[in-house]
């Protein structure tokens, strides 16, 4: 029998979870979630919360979305698992449907994985196999996943552990608030840095560059106009591929496009996706230009649960809900309304240095002083603790843990926006007292 008390769960975690898993708890006081429906969560004491985190961007169309649950349940009851060694129509349909979301000028193929990090690993291997080169470029405040290979392209120090494979050159993130070239410096100086890195920190022969179309753990960092396309141009000139990480920014979350890279008109060689694709069911995918994926046929590459029909049935339902319920349009409209309210909060609270993002991928960044922009981790933590009292779930992010990141299920409503703005305002006020 499952014991739902917080104390019992905390005790079991303390005793039986590895330190690597047990320590990653955002709130000071632990909480147990019992139930979720669309953009809402209820804890074990039946308190309701607005989930602005979407269980870390996984919940794209809503907790326990009835259509997704129905599709997955029907598939699980019929045949829970079938590997790619055998044929099953559901993953094949999903591959076709994902390929159809990609830019039309290329032919696209799909390799399903179990997670985002696995998809990143595979994308790295694919780029190295196709180009015959080893060197990769990545951004300094990037996050690409917990496996050794994904960590090797992850720039945020707090997420990097010892023993990672190398051959990665990091370039400065084109942060338009606090980047090394100052406020609103645009793409150009950062593109020069890519050229410099290729010339000085690689062999000159590059396998590829990984870019989150909007950085998530980096604190919601949008790529300035011309950056993604300019990066692709420079990396291709050195023989490499452009790899878009859409694990957080994909599936319409930015509001304007299904995929974040589309904001800059770039056509990637490889697109990595996970999280929102399954609305909580474990699933990831590498979508690549057909020619780029072809050389991997010489050896076996098999992910046991990749193309799992239960997760893929969920994935098909997610795509259908996004299309049918105009989820991307909702992300645009509700995200714009929320961003406006966040700007109003900035006018009221001096601790807020910056407000940014697009669609339902937003952040506020806390500083000790708006002029020096010194990150304020303590105020962020204090406000964060209070957001829980206000019935909001969000996340501390950014390399200095000075940002509050909002990536809610994309069914968030305008009514919720009022509650979020009021809740954040209350959290700032009570953190200051
Ligand atoms: N890329 C990005 C941008 C991510 O945010 C994450 C997960 N936070 C990953 C890759 C790795 O995905 P997963 O946790 O499914 O391995």
> What is the 3-state secondary structure of 42-81?
EECCCCEEEECCHHHHCCCCCECCHHHHHHHHHHHHHCCC
- CA gap 170, 201 in Å, rounded: 9
**Least confident span in 21-35, 44-58, 75-89, 304-318:** 21-35
pLDDT for position 25: 78
Distance CA 203, CA 194 (A): 14
Label residue 21 by pLDDT band (50, 70, 90): confident
Hey, which of 275, 280, 282 would you mutate to test ligand 1's pocket, going by the most ligand atoms within 8 Å of its Cβ? 275
* Ligand 1 pocket, residue 281 CB under 6 Å: no
Q: Is 117 in the pocket of ligand 1 (CB under 6 A)?
A: yes
Q: Using CA of residue 180, residue 181, residue 186, residue 191, what is the dihedral sign?
A: negative
Measured at the CA of 329, the angle between CA 325 and CA 332, to 5 degrees, comes to: 140
Residue 298's pLDDT band (boundaries 50, 70, 90)? confident
Query: Which of 278, 229, 232 shows the shortest CA–CA distance to 98?
Result: 278
Percent of the chain exceeding pLDDT 90 equals 93
Mind listing the pLDDT tens digit for each residue in 365-401? Answer: 999 999 999 999 999 999 999 999 999 999 999 999 9
* Ligand 1 neighbourhood includes 218 CB (under 6 angstroms): no
Residues carrying CATH 3.90.1150.10, the chain: 31-61+326-432
**What residues does CATH 3.40.640.10 cover in the chain?**
68-324
Task: Assess contact for 6 and 31: CB atoms under 8 A.
Answer: yes
pLDDT tens-digit readout, 333-361: 999 999 999 999 999 999 999 999 999 99
pLDDT of 23 > 80? The answer is no
Q: Is the CB of 211 under 6 A from ligand 1?
A: no
Question: What is the Å distance from ligand 1's center to 371 Cα?
Answer: 33
CATH 3.40.640.10 fits 68-324, yes or no: yes
Angstrom distance (rounded) from CA 180 to CA 173: 8
Q: What is the pLDDT of residues 257-296, one digit of tens each?
A: 999 999 999 999 999 999 999 999 999 999 999 999 999 9
Q: For the whole model, what pTM was predicted? A: 0.98
Domain 31-61+326-432 part of CATH 2.10.60.10? no
Q: How far is the CA of 145 from the centre of ligand 1 (A)?
A: 5
Nearest atom within ligand 1 for CA of residue 118: 16
Atom of ligand 1 nearest to the CA of 142: 3
pLDDT-derived band at 69, boundaries 50, 70, 90: very high
Atom of ligand 1 at shortest range from CA of 246? 3
Does the CB atom of residue 120 touch ligand 1 within 6 A?
yes
Mutate to test the pocket of ligand 1, among 248, 254, 284, 303 (most ligand atoms within 8 A of CB): 248
């Amino acid at each position: 029998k499952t014991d739902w008390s917080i104390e019992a769960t905390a005790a079991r975690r303390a005793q039986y979870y590895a330190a690597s898993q047990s320590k990653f708890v955002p709130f000071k006081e632990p909480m147990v979630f019992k139930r979720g429906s669309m953009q809402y969560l209820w804890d074990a004491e039946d308190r309701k919360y607005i989930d602005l985190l979407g269980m870390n961007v996984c919940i794209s169309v809503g907790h326990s979305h009835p259509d997704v649950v129905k599709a997955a349940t029907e598939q699980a009851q019929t045949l829970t698992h079938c590997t790619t060694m055998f044929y099953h129509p559901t993953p094949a349909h999903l591959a076709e449907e994902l390929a159809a979301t990609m830019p039309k000028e290329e032919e696209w193929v799909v390799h399903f994985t179990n997670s985002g990090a696995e998809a990143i690993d595979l994308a790295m291997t694919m780029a190295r196999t196709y180009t015959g080169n080893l060197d990769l470029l990545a951004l300094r405040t990037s996050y690409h996943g917990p496996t050794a290979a994904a960590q090797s392209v992850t720039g945020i120090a707090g997420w990097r552990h010892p023993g990672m494979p190398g051959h990665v050159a990091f370039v400065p993130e084109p942060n338009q608030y606090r980047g090394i070239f100052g406020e609103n410096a645009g793409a150009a100086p950062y593109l020069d840095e890519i050229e410099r890195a290729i010339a000085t920190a690689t062999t000159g022969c590059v396998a590829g560059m990984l870019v989150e179309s909007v950085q998530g753990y980096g604190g919601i960092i949008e790529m300035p106009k011309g950056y993604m396309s300019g990066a692709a141009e420079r990396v291709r000139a050195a023989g490499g591929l452009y790899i878009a990480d859409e694990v957080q920014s994909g599936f319409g979350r930015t509001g304007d496009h299904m995929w974040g890279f589309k904001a800059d008109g770039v056509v990637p060689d490889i697109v990595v996706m996970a999280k929102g694709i399954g609305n909580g069911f474990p699933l990831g995918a590498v979508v690549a230009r057909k020619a780029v994926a072809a050389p991997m046929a010489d050896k076996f590459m098999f992910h046991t649960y990749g193309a799992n029909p239960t997760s893929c049935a969920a994935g098909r339902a997610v795509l259908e809900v996004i299309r049918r319920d105009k989820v991307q349009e909702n992300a645009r409209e509700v995200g714009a309304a929320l961003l406006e309210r966040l700007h109003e909060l900035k006018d009221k609270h001096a601790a807020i240095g910056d407000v940014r993002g697009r669609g339902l991928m937003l952040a506020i960044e806390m500083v000790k002083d708006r002029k020096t922009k010194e990150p304020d981790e303590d105020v962020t933590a204090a406000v964060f603790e209070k957001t829980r009292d206000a019935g909001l779930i969000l996340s501390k992010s950014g390399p200095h843990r000075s940002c509050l990141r909002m990536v809610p299920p994309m069914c968030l409503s305008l009514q919720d926006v009022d509650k979020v703005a009021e809740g954040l305002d209350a959290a700032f006020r009570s953190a200051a007292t």
